[in-house]
Amino acid sequence: MPHLQAIVIGVGSELRGDAGFGAAVIEALCRQPGLADRVRLARCDGEPARMIELWDGYGCALVVDAVRGGREAYGFLCRHDLPRDALLGSTGPWPGTPSGGGTGGSAHAAGLRAAVRLGHMLGRLPDRLILYAVHGRDFRPGAPLSRPVEAAVPQLAGRISRDVLGVLSECARQGERPGAHRPSNPVRAL
């Protein structure tokens, strides 16, 4: 298996409506020819220790989640590119929380923030974290993805594919050897 420099983590539960967005994006990415050979694709429930275990050793982690609240239309996608310094110095609203200032966000956003802080303390934080969030509508147990969120899946899968190529090109320009950040044992999906 070739060494990989980036991991895409789909956060959430397929059993809670739009919370399954991360898993749906990972599934769409798995169907794209050759992408799984260039980047690790994984699902996670949002528990901080599992996120740390997944991204440990990778130079870049791309995290996909659904959020609630805010003023954006359902299905609205946002992207936050967060270098390590910005993650550790963040005192304002956590990326992925709604811009409307409400208390919405995601239970996973709290888990992501905890994972970043714990990962920093343990020395297991990627150099770069890119967060993709969709504004979800329906998070009820047993509900399917809402139509606007389902429509955002292929759009985001295409964007992530382009971003992965950009991350890999950037690593090549910086002269990093493949797998420079990756541990010798393979990371497993949790």
pLDDT band, residue 178 (cuts 50/70/90): very low
Q: What type of residue sits at position 3?
A: H
Residue with the bigger pLDDT between 190 and 119: it is 119
Residue-wise pLDDT tens digits, 108-143: 467 888 898 899 899 998 988 999 999 999 999 999
- Measured CA to CA, the distance from residue 114 to residue 66 in angstroms comes to 17
Sign of the CA dihedral running 49, 52, 54, 56: negative
pLDDT band, residue 187 (cuts 50/70/90): very low
Average pLDDT for 131-160: 96
Average pLDDT for 59-71: 89
Average pLDDT for 77-106: 58
Q: What type of residue sits at position 59?
A: G
- Measured CA to CA, the distance from residue 33 to residue 37 in angstroms comes to 9
Q: Is residue 67 within 8 Å of residue 96, measured between CB atoms? A: yes
pLDDT band, residue 167 (cuts 50/70/90): confident
- What domains are defined for the chain? 6-173 (3.40.50.1450)
Burial, 54: exposed, middle or buried (Cβ in 10 Å; 0-12, 13-18, 19+)?
buried
Residue-wise pLDDT tens digits, 28-51: 999 988 888 889 999 999 999 999
